[in-house]
C-alpha cells in the first residue's frame, strides 16, 4: 500500500511529466506533435526512460508505439494505454495523461510482487492529424491496420509506411505489434474533454460506452426569387425550412436522454441579402451511446426536415456521410472500476464518452474499460486544457486499486 503522501507526490510527478512532454513540439511556442514527427523521438526517449526506471522492459513497435512491460511475459496481462500524439496547438493532457498515469500505477507496484503483468502503451497516433486517419497506433495493436492505410499519404506525399521507415522502424514487422495473447484487459485513463464531471462536482467517471455517431448532409431545395417582389405566400424559402428544422433538431435532442444532435454547418444559396434563398445545405451530427436511440432519432429528424420543407414547397433530400456504431465497454471490468472507486471512497459516476478514443478500437478485441478525469472548464484540444492535482491523485488511487482487484480476479 502506497502512503498517501507518496501518492500525492507521484500524482504531482504525473502532472509535471505531462507538462514536460508538452514542450516537445513541431511548432515553437505551442504543443503540436503529430505521428512520428521529429519531436516524438525525444518524447520516446523520455517515456522509455521513465518506463525503464519503473522496472519495465521497453520496446517500440513498428507503428511507433512505446511499450513497457512490467512482470513476467507469460503472466495474464493488463494493458494501460493512451496516446502520445496531439492535435495542433494542443494542451498537455489529452492522451499523455493516460500514459503517465499508467507508468505511475506501475511505479506504485515497484518492488511489490504482482501475479499479473502490466503493459503500458503510449500510442504513436490517435488524433488523425497527419494522415487524416485516426487510431493508427491502436489499430496496429489489434491487427486492423491494413495495407491500404499504410499507403495513405500526408500533405507532403509521404505514406504511412515511409513515415515509419523515416523514423527508423520497419513496416514489414507490423504483425509483431499485435497484442500478446496473454492480454486479458485494457484500461485507458483520459481527460473527459467535456463539462459533465465538473458540472456534477466529481473528479472521476467510469465510461460505460463510446457513443455511436451518424453524420448526414441535408439539402433543402426551394426556389430563389426577388426579396422585394415575391409575396410571402408565394415563396419557397429553403433557409426558412432549414431553420425550422434546426430548431426541431435541438428540441428532439433536449428531450431525449443522452442524445446530442448538432447542425454545425449551414450554407444558403445564392447567399445574397435581397434574394429568397433557393437552396440550403446543412450538416447534421447525431450521437448516442445506444445505437437504436440514435437510429430512431435520425429517422425522426429526417421526417422533421421533410415536414419543414413540405410546409414551404421545399424538397428535402439527404445523404449519410458517416455511420459509426456505439462501442460498449466491458461490463465485468467496468464493475471492477466502480468497485475500485468505492474502495477509495469515491462514489462511482457513470457516463458515456461523446468523443472517440483508442479504447473504441481495442474494445472489440480485449475486455476494455475507461476512466475519465474531470476537465476543468470542460476545455480540451486547446492550450488551456488542464487537470486538478487532486483528481490525478484520485485517478492514480483508483488505478492502483483496480489493478489489485484485477490481479485477484485473473
Residues annotated within a binding site for Zn(2+): 83, 94, 127, 190, 381
Could you give phi then psi for residue 20, rounded to 5 degrees?
-65, -45
CA dihedral 170, 175, 180, 183 (to 10 degrees): 110
Nearest residue (CB) to Zn ion, 114 versus 191: 191
Candidate segments 91-99, 311-319, 343-351, 384-392, binder of Zn ion by CB under 5 A: 91-99
Residue 282: name the closest of 310, 257, 304, 311 by CA: 304
The C-alpha cell of 286 is what?
447525431
Tell me how far, at minimum, the Cβ of 93 lies from Zn ion, in Å.
Answer: 9
8 A C-beta contact, residue 337 and residue 402: yes
Measured from the CB of residue 378, what is the shortest distance to Zn ion in angstroms?
A: 15
295: β partners: none
Q: Is 91 in the site for Zn ion (CB under 5 A)?
A: no
Which residues in 270-355 belong to E strands, given as ranges? 275-276, 279-288, 315-324, 327-328, 350-353
Q: Work out whether 94 is an interface residue with Zn ion (CB under 5 A).
A: yes
Segment interacting with Zn ion (CB under 5 A) among 88-96, 172-180, 265-273, 311-319: 88-96
Extract the annotated binding site: 83, 94, 127, 190, 215, 274, 287, 381
* Residues 339 and 405 sit within 8 Å (Cβ to Cβ): yes
Instruction: Report the run of H or E that residue 121 belongs to, with start and end.
Output: strand 117-123
Report, in Å, the least distance between residue 353 CB and Zn ion: 10
Instruction: State the minimum distance, in angstroms, from the CB of residue 87 to Zn ion.
Output: 9
For residues 387 and 405, give the distance between their C-alpha atoms in angstroms, rounded to a whole number: 26
- Residue from 68, 95, 185, 194 binding Zn ion (CB under 5 A): 95
- Shortest CB 190 distance to Zn ion, Å: 6
Residue placing its CB nearer to Zn ion in the complex, 94 or 385: 94
Q: Which of residues 189-228 bind Zn ion (CB under 5 A)?
A: none
Determine contact, residues 332/367, Cβ cutoff 8 Å.
Answer: yes
Size of the site for Zn ion (CB under 5 A): 2
Our CB check for Zn ion shows the closer of 86 and 224 to be 86
Select 188 or 401, whichever has its Cβ closest to Zn ion: 188
Tell me the closest approach of the beta carbon of residue 127 to Zn ion, in angstroms: 7
Residue 210 or 249: the one with the smaller Cβ distance to Zn ion is 210
Burial of 197 (0-12, 13-18, 19+ CB in 10 A): buried
Binding track over 249-268 against Zn ion, x by CB under 5 A: --------------------
User: Dihedral of the CA atoms 29, 101, 9, 92 (nearest 10)?
Assistant: 10
Examine residue 386 and tell whether it contacts Zn ion (CB under 5 A).
Answer: no
Residue 223 sits at φ, ψ, to 5 deg, of -145, 130
Contacts with Zn ion, residue ranges (CB under 5 A): 94-95
Amino acid at each position: 500500500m502506497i502512503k498517501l503522501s507518496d501518492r500525492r507526490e507521484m500524482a504531482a510527478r504525473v502532472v509535471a511529466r505531462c507538462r514536460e512532454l508538452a514542450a516537445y513540439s513541431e511548432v515553437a511556442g505551442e504543443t503540436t506533435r503529430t505521428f512520428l514527427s521529429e519531436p516524438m523521438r525525444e518524447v520516446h526517449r523520455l517515456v522509455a526512460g521513465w518506463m525503464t526506471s519503473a522496472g519495465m522492459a521497453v520496446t517500440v513497435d513498428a507503428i511507433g508505439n512505446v511499450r513497457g512491460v512490467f512482470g513476467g511475459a507469460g503472466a495474464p496481462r493488463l494493458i494501460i494505454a493512451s496516446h502520445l500524439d496531439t492535435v495542433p496547438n494542443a494542451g498537455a493532457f489529452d492522451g499523455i495523461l493516460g500514459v503517465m498515469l499508467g507508468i505511475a500505477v506501475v511505479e506504485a507496484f515497484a518492488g511489490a510482487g504482482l501475479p499479473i503483468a502490466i503493459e503500458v502503451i503510449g500510442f504513436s497516433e490517435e488524433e488523425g492529424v497527419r494522415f487524416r486517419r485516426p487510431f493508427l497506433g491502436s489499430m496496429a495493436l489489434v491487427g486492423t491496420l491494413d495495407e491500404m492505410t499504410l499507403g495513405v499519404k500526408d500533405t507532403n506525399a509521404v505514406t504511412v509506411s515511409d513515415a515509419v521507415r523515416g523514423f527508423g522502424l520497419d513496416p514489414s514487422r507490423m504483425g509483431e505489434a499485435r497484442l500478446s495473447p496473454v492480454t486479458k484487459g485494457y484500461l485507458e485513463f483520459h481527460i473527459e474533454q467535456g463539462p459533465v464531471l465538473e458540472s456534477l462536482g466529481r473528479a472521476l467517471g467510469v465510461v460505460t460506452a463510446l457513443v455511436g455517431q451518424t453524420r448526414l448532409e441535408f439539402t433543402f431545395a426551394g426556389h430563389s426569387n426577388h426579396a422585394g417582389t415575391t409575396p410571402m405566400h408565394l415563396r419557397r424559402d429553403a433557409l426558412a425550412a432549414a431553420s425550422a428544422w434546426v430548431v426541431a433538431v435541438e428540441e428532439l435532442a433536449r428531450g431525449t436522454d443522452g442524445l446530442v444532435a448538432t447542425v454545425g454547418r449551414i450554407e444558403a444559396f445564392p447567399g445574397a441579402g435581397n434574394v429568397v434563398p433557393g437552396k440550403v445545405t446543412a450538416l447534421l451530427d447525431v450521437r448516442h451511446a445506444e445505437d437504436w436511440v440514435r437510429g430512431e432519432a435520425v429517422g425522426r429528424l429526417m421526417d422533421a426536415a421533410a415536414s419543414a420543407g413540405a410546409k414551404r414547397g421545399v424538397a428535402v433530400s439527404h445523404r449519410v456521410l458517416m455511420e459509426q456504431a456505439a462501442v460498449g465497454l466491458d461490463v465485468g471490468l467496468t464493475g471492477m472500476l466502480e468497485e475500485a472507486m468505492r474502495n477509495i471512497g469515491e462514489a462511482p459516476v457513470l457516463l458515456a464518452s461523446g468523443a472517440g478514443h483508442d479504447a473504441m478500437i481495442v474494445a472489440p478485441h480485449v475486455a476494455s474499460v475507461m476512466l475519465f478525469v474531470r476537465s476543468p472548464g470542460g476545455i480540451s484540444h486547446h492550450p488551456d486544457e488542464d487537470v486538478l492535482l487532486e483528481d490525478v491523485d484520485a485517478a492514480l488511487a483508483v488505478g492502483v486499486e483496480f489493478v489489485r482487484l484485477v490481479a485477484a480476479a485473473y
